Amino acid sequence: MNNFSYTRALDIAGAVSEISTNAAAQFIAGGTNLIDLMKENVSRPDRLIDINHLPLNRIEKTPDGGLRLGALVTNTETAYHPEVEARYPLLSRAILSGASPQLRNMATNGGNLLQRTRCYYFYDTATPCNKRVRGTGCSALEGFNRIHAVLGASDQCIAVHPSDMCIALAALEAVVRVTGKSGERSIPFADFHRLPGDTPDIDTNLRNDEIILSIDLPAKGFADHHAYLKVRDRKSYAFALVSVAAALEMSGDTIADARLALGGVAHKPWRNTDAEELLKGKAAATDQFQAVAERIMRNAIGFEHNSFKIELAKRAIVRALKHAAQMEAR
Ligand SMILES: Cc1cc2nc3c(=O)[nH]c(=O)nc-3n(C[C@H](O)[C@H](O)[C@H](O)COP(=O)(O)OP(=O)(O)OC[C@H]3O[C@@H](n4cnc5c(N)ncnc54)[C@H](O)[C@@H]3O)c2cc1C
Ligand code: SF4
């Protein structure tokens, strides 16, 4: 591990000032991803700015009837918070399907959004990886690519975004509130993470001098009709091969509103709002769900070891929608 200095930020302005004066500095929150990356020599910050003492550790109601999740609230506190359990159970389920209780006790909401891909080659500094060092090549393209993307990939990177929490946040249309040298701004969740394109080393649209303050949930929580389905190699303590967050608003047997977000298939939580439109105003029915699954996966491209994900994702979408519509027991 490289030598680094350490400082504790005492207020948000101080944290922003520290990060914006040193391009090689990084914030540390729970440390569950960053420390691993430092031990593997993938991340090499020369200064760690500990943000754990900033006043970003509360969950509060917002004036518009939504809920503000502080960036430093842990994943455990978020998942078991009474307002989250009652009004956003999709989010609780997604968080609790991830990692382990010990990790969730340390992991923070802000850190969860910025966790890096689990592509094996990204962690292996002996292999080329455009995400680790731009321009070196992508070892996964011709390598073992079983866990990689089938949607939205580029010839520079086929990694997937690893978070479960973010898949639910995409479906709920959360907003990420951040601040930096130019002041505060709000980023719709769909615009927070990026597709790889020619710059796969840049995961998100957060600027280098910015800190995440909170994740704001809109009032609509889809508490009555939701499902988070995570398909993985082991029943616990494993990242998703494919995951689906499904949220429906039902009016009798008719679908009034629908949201679907997929994990494990792309470089960011994947939504296809055109496909979601196919559900609106329709009765909940298996053939309708299958049509939506086909539409979402229509442009999917498999690689040597991961083509199975395309059919898997279609089936997971149908099953998650059935669970959400309560046509099938969870
Ligand atoms: C063995 C293992 C299994 C896991 N399994 C899963 C899983 O199944 N599903 C899943 O979703 N996750 C899983 N995780 C990932 C885990 O959820 C993340 O490591 C965790 O959420 C990161 O949060 P943290 O607070 O520890 O972040 P840190 O490691 O402290 O930081 C991560 C990054 O975020 C930055 N950062 C943190 N907070 C802020 C902020 N407020 N503003 C700006 N930048 C910030 C840091 O600079 C760093 O770059 C697993 C992790 C491990 C180690
Ligand atoms: S898929 Fe992305 S992260 Fe993995 S080796 Fe290729 S460039 Fe690196």
Q: What is the CA radius of gyration of the chain?
A: 20
Distances (CA, A) of 178 to 162, 164, 187, 201: 22, 21, 8, 21
Sign of CA dihedral 322, 325, 326, 330: positive
d(CA 229, CA 287): 19
CB-CB contact of 330 with 230 (8 Å): no
CB-CB contact of 41 with 132 (8 Å): no
d(CA 226, CA 258): 10
Pairing between β-strand 59-61 and β-strand 47-50 as defined by DSSP bridges: unpaired
CA dihedral 238, 242, 243, 244 (to 10 degrees): -170
d(CA 315, CA 147): 17
Q: What is residue 329's predicted lDDT score, i.e. its pLDDT?
A: 67
Q: Pocket of ligand 1, candidates 53, 112, 181, 231: which has the most ligand atoms within 8 Å of its Cβ, to mutate?
A: 112
Distances (CA, A) of 115 to 121, 148, 223: 16, 16, 27
145 in contact with ligand 1, CB cutoff 6 A: no
Alpha carbon of 315 to ligand 1 centroid (Å): 29
CB-CB contact of 38 with 117 (8 Å): no
Nearest atom within ligand 1 for CA of residue 56: 41
CB-CB contact of 161 with 263 (8 Å): yes
**Strand (E) or helix (H) holding 77:** helix 75-80
Q: What is residue 327's predicted lDDT score, i.e. its pLDDT?
A: 76
138 in contact with ligand 2, CB cutoff 6 A: yes
How does DSSP assign 7-62, residue by residue?
EE--SHHHHHHHHHT-TTEEEESS-TTHHHHHHTTS---SEEEE-TTSS---EEE-
CB-CB contact of 38 with 2 (8 Å): yes
Question: What are the residue ranges of helices labelled H in 188-326?
Answer: 189-192, 273-277, 286-297, 308-325
Alpha carbon of 256 to ligand 1 centroid (Å): 35
Taking the CA of 128 as reference, the closest ligand is: 2
d(CA 317, CA 193): 22
Kindly report the protein residue whose alpha carbon is nearest to atom 9 of ligand 1: 98
By CB atoms closer than 10 A (0-12, 13-18, 19+), residue 69 is buried
140 in contact with ligand 1, CB cutoff 6 A: no
Q: What is residue 330's predicted lDDT score, i.e. its pLDDT?
A: 65
Note the maximum CA span of the chain: 61
Nearest atom within ligand 2 for CA of residue 121: 5
Series of mean pLDDT values for 10-residue runs along the chain (330 residues): 93 98 97 97 98 98 98 98 98 97 98 98 98 98 98 98 98 98 98 98 98 98 98 93 98 96 98 97 97 98 98 98 86
Distances (CA, A) of 300 to 39, 234, 242: 35, 25, 13
